[in-house]
Amino acid sequence: MKRFLILFLLSCLNSCQLDQQTQKPNIIIIYADDLGYGDVSAYGQGKLNTPNIDKLANNGSRFTNGYSSSATCSPSRYALMTGTYPWRNKRAKILTGANLIIDTGEMTIPKMLKTQGYQTAIVGKWHLGLGNSKIDYNKKISPGPNEVGFDYSFIIPDTQDRVPTVYMENGKVVNLDPEDPLEVSFEKNFEGQPTGKDNPELLSMMWHHGHNGSIVNGVPRIGFMKGGEQAKWSDIDMADEFLNQAKRYINKAKETPFFLYYTLQQPHVPRTPHPRYEGTSGMGPRGDAIVEADWCIGELYNHLKKNNLLENTIIILSSDNGPVINDGYYDEAVEKLGDHTPAGRLRGGKYSLFEAGTRVPFITYWKGKIKPAVSDQIVSQIDYLNSIASIVGSDIRSKDGVDLSNVLFQNTGKGRSELILEATSRTAYRSQNWVLIPPYSGPAVSPNVNIEIGNASEYQLYNLEDDIAQQQNLAGSNPQKLREMIDRYESIININ
Ligand code: NG6
Ligand code: CA
């Protein structure tokens, strides 16, 4: 009997060890909103200090040619989730109160991971639309994140500057009092409700362009809302709320492999860091919000460490688009910038076809697996799906992604040779170190945000190898390269 018991215990031990060895890694994608290439101190460009992001960057792979798929949010997020270029989807534009732009039949990272036994969650900003007809926030809204692959969702629907200013959990507005229904409109105000336009005396933050609709917590927003008082979020507590939800999810999901898509709201406008961060950067609320985001990332890291999860968790960190200083509020970002360079030495910023629109902080970390390295390989968020699929043993592949699992997670191999970049429905083409920007009409500098967005009446051709700041247009002096780039660009853009 005793011998049987010992044999039984031994076999249990064996299978436990096997389980541990064969367990698939947890995957966490941390996705910042409008964080620039030069905003992370590990990139050695600006003046901000981001010690917690640096810890991941310096102990993992830090990519210097890492791209978001677009210079704005919703298109980038669409491409990240699906591995499909955003310009193939006509609805993948900056969204405001729109319906879901991912087809529920489309493959996504969380769906792929579910085929491999993962639990999946999103905590943070969504901005990919909700529902498929007029949205009624007083009912459960579907389809949304839960219908495109997430078992659990705790989100803000669009962005912090848009109504409704409420959290949603698994399709339902959190803390909504049925006696105080929530109404939302992007066309007209509800009678008797103050707005940023008509009631500047009620504002704690003044609007600069747009953002003059309903006022919530003293901050004027895009769009109008009425009711739902009890459900309104507290802006200054949003970072803590998302962090706590992320930790709570990890506690719940840690026994099986999990995927957490942790989508920070910082440093997108309105920049409302918790008062404990006030003044920490010396750059006003934009800098303070980045310090706060960095702290959140450190807290998440510590939580994983405390739970012995670091060795079995891949952390990917990036941003949905490049930086913008004034994106619609007077918040001292311009005045207090000093000599900080959010875009580093790159030209342009958010909304731009120039490099700073889409070249973003791009970091992969896996304790004990990824060796510390700086990589200049060309990698894109559109490749996450294929690369993660490859790591977890799935043969699912997306339309436009490349399997870069070696480059991203093993410090070996080559990145992309080419990539289409997108900014507000315009596209550009990168091949090796060359960038082609086709002619586009419109202002060269976007007047509201004061960013060079890449419009010109002529083709632009740059060689990033010795002109990272895109100062020398070589289109005239290199007609052969120009022709070659145009032909290839057009052949990709025209294939569907
Ligand atoms: C623009 C907003 C801008 C920002 C952006 C979305 C105005 C004038 N500008 O329409 O402030 O919200 O949308 O940013 O309203 S993103 O990072 O989510 O793409
Ligand atoms: Ca963004």
Q: With bands split at pLDDT 50, 70 and 90, how would you rate the model's confidence at 171?
A: very high
Residues spanned by the domain of 487: 421-493
Express each pLDDT in 290-316 by its tens digit.
999 999 999 999 999 999 999 999 999
Q: Does position 441 have pLDDT exceeding 70, yes or no?
A: yes
Indicate if 280 and 398 belong to the same structural domain.
yes
Indicate if 149 and 269 belong to the same structural domain.
yes
| Mean pLDDT of the chain, nearest integer | 96
Indicate if 120 and 82 belong to the same structural domain.
yes
The Cα–Cα gap between 131 and 135 comes to 6
- Give the domain-ending residue among 413, 433, 453: 413
Residue 143 structure tokens: 């389809």
Express each pLDDT in 375-403 by its tens digit.
999 999 999 999 999 999 999 999 999 99
Contact status, residue 112 vs residue 389, Cβ threshold 8 Å = yes
Of 264, 268, 319, 360, best ligand 1 pocket probe by most atoms within 8 Å of the beta carbon: 268
Adjacent-strand bridge partners of 30: 262, 317
Is 241 close to ligand 1, i.e. is its CB under 6 Å away?
no
- Give the domain-ending residue among 367, 392, 413: 413
Average pLDDT over residues 241-269: 98
Is 94 close to ligand 1, i.e. is its CB under 6 Å away?
yes
Indicate if 324 and 438 belong to the same structural domain.
no
Indicate if 273 and 370 belong to the same structural domain.
yes
Q: With bands split at pLDDT 50, 70 and 90, how would you rate the model's confidence at 23?
A: confident
Contact status, residue 118 vs residue 24, Cβ threshold 8 Å = yes
Q: With bands split at pLDDT 50, 70 and 90, how would you rate the model's confidence at 13?
A: very low
Quote the pTM value. Answer: 0.95
The Cα–Cα gap between 285 and 272 comes to 7
Is 422 close to ligand 1, i.e. is its CB under 6 Å away?
no
Of 33, 70, 72, best ligand 1 pocket probe by most atoms within 8 Å of the beta carbon: 72
Average pLDDT over residues 307-329: 98
Q: Can you tell me whether residue 205 is helix, strand or coil?
A: coil
Q: Does position 21 have pLDDT exceeding 50, yes or no?
A: no
Q: Does position 15 have pLDDT exceeding 50, yes or no?
A: no
Q: Does position 72 have pLDDT exceeding 70, yes or no?
A: yes
Is 268 close to ligand 1, i.e. is its CB under 6 Å away?
yes
Nearest residue by C-alpha to atom 16 in ligand 1: 73
Average pLDDT over residues 457-465: 98
Q: With bands split at pLDDT 50, 70 and 90, how would you rate the model's confidence at 222?
A: very high
Indicate if 296 and 155 belong to the same structural domain.
yes
pLDDT value for 3: 59
CATH (domain of 480):
3.30.1120.10
Q: 227 lies in a domain? A: no
3-state helix, strand, coil in the chain (%, to 5): 30, 20, 50
Atom of ligand 1 nearest to the CA of 74: 19
CATH (domain of 36):
3.40.720.10
pLDDT value for 118: 98
- Give the domain-ending residue among 397, 413, 429: 413
Q: Does position 133 have pLDDT exceeding 90, yes or no?
A: yes
Q: How many domains does the chain fold into?
A: 2
Q: Does position 2 have pLDDT exceeding 70, yes or no?
A: no
Is 72 close to ligand 1, i.e. is its CB under 6 Å away?
yes
Q: Does position 181 have pLDDT exceeding 50, yes or no?
A: yes
pLDDT value for 4: 54
Nearest residue by C-alpha to atom 6 in ligand 1: 94
Indicate if 464 and 333 belong to the same structural domain.
no
Average pLDDT over residues 21-46: 94
pLDDT value for 20: 43
Q: C-alpha 395: how far from its chain's center?
A: 25
Indicate if 473 and 359 belong to the same structural domain.
no
Distances (CA, A) of 354 to 72, 190, 358, 445, 469: 13, 40, 8, 12, 9
Indicate if 270 and 320 belong to the same structural domain.
yes
Indicate if 263 and 157 belong to the same structural domain.
yes
